[in-house]
Amino acid sequence: MAIELITTDGIFALDGGEWEVTNNIWLVGDDHEVLVFDAAHDHQAIVDAANGRKVRGIVLTHGHNDHINAAVPLRDAVDAPIWLHDADSMLWDVVWPDDSPDRQLAEGGSFQVAGHELGVMHTPGHSPGCCCFYDAGSEVVFTGDTLFCGGPGATGRSYSDEPTIVASIRDRLLALPDDTVVHTGHGESTTIGAERAGIEAKAAELGV
């Protein structure tokens, strides 16, 4: 299974603030088909990276604008369904009030691509509908903004909660093997083992 990274630049907007961000978009598949994880800022960059391969799905790790603002034009370009957890529908509606995701992510679901299975893990905290996607065959997890290189995603804005995200990471992601590679929504990749001590310390500090 091939894993390809595209980065795009744009604006993250929430609670009246705006921040310039660089987003990671992950293409997972082979020479014939791919899944796209997140659709940030520039749909044409994703179309170009897919390079004619069948896009099996546009899988959104959560509903913040910088992860979904290219989703609808990407869907129009590649004819693939958009997946989002329904707990983030209020975030989706800010960006795409006249459109809807095609399918709902749910705990225990899975995606098949290039002979691999990626399981859906609901990991709320950064937003209520955050999900991560684990491929046991490759020992890789795509975490969006739930877990970064250096710790949990931000929880200082609407619909986010620090104890919730720390508990999600501890209970779900730290259950994965330490050598599992973590591909994030922004910044560098990491491993579960590299983040374990910091998350356990934060959980103890918060009493979760």
Residue 41 three-state SS: coil
Task: Give one word for 165, left, alpha or beta, with left for phi > 0 and alpha for psi -120 to 50.
Answer: alpha
Average pLDDT for 57-80:
98
CA 70, CA 43: separation in Å to the nearest integer? 5
Cβ pair 4, 11 in contact under 8 A: no
pLDDT band at 117 (very low <50, low <70, confident <90, very high): very high
* pLDDT at residue 155, as a whole number: 97
The 10s digit of each residue's pLDDT in 168-207 is 999 999 999 999 999 999 999 999 999 999 999 999 999 9
Residue 197 burial (CB < 10 Å; 0-12/13-18/19+)?
exposed
122 token code pair? 């609901």
CA 78, CA 67: separation in Å to the nearest integer? 17
CA 16, CA 46: separation in Å to the nearest integer? 28
Average pLDDT for 36-62:
98
CA 121, CA 123: separation in Å to the nearest integer? 6
Beta bridge partners of 113: 116
Name the percent of the chain lying above pLDDT 90: 100
CA torsion 87→88→89→95, rounded to 10°? 180
DSSP string, 7-21: EEEEEEEETTEEEEE
CA 57, CA 34: separation in Å to the nearest integer? 8
- pTM of structure: 0.98
Q: What are the residues whose beta carbons fall under 8 Å from the beta carbon of 114, sequence distance 6 or more?
A: 1, 2, 28, 29, 30, 32, 33, 34
